[in-house]
Chain A
Amino acid sequence: DAGVTQSPTHLIKTRGQQVTLRCSPISGHKSVSWYQQVLGQGPQFIFQYYEKEERGRGNFPDRFSARQFPNYSSELNVNALLLGDSALYLCASSLGPGSQYEQYFGPGTRLTVT
């Protein structure tokens, strides 16, 4: 079975631009979470979605937004990019509420902001 997939793998953007990252969960998983991992740090929670509804939001500015589609795939959008947004963006999927302790991560999208 395919694991969590993310696209693109790498991305280079300029300050002020906007970016959209995509994630497809494991088949049968209905919950998707997004994390940001800065070099040398552990992942930091951004959003959690279940059944197309936002179920949790981390301490990130409103420049960050996300949505989940009927097929449970998800997009993360970041507007007005800053140099500090350079990081590995990880998507994780799980069966749903009550199974968040068993989250499976994709390979990530490495975003570089210049």
Chain B
Amino acid sequence: QKEVEQDPGPLSVPEGAIVSLNCTYSNSAFQYFMWYRQYSRKGPELLMYTYSSGNKEDGRFTAQVDKSSKYISLFIRDSQPSDSATYLCAMSVMRGSQGNLIFGKGTKLSVKP
């Protein structure tokens, strides 16, 4: 079993839809949960991070972490064609001075005009 599981999609939605992206994980020691957006042939762009459980909102984006279920989500409201990209979840233990990120495979999202 991989430490982080993410459905690769592809996911196709109409413009204006609410998008839900999810990851599950197996390592209960993960403390930080990140979402990255990666456009084709570009580096990942940090969207937001969350510490431990709870919700965090930034504009049209909302991240949720449920540590009891080992499940994290990213919601995108009023999706736009410019949101079309691959979305990567990442997690970290942050033990001492180390803090390498463990990534999911990424979900490819397409928002149709």
Contacts and interface: CB of A to CB of B under 8 A. Distances in A.
Interface stretch (B45-53, B62-70, B76-84): B45-53
A23 to B, nearest CB: 11
B42 A41 contact: no
B44 A45 contact: no
Contacts of B99: 48, 56, 94, 97-101
| Interface range, A side | 20 to 34
Contacts of A105: 36, 43-46
Interface string A100-111: 111111111010
A84 interface: no
B103 A44 contact: yes
B58 to A, nearest CB: 14
Interface of B: 4, 6, 8, 32, 34, 36, 41-46, 49, 51, 88, 90, 92, 94, 96-106
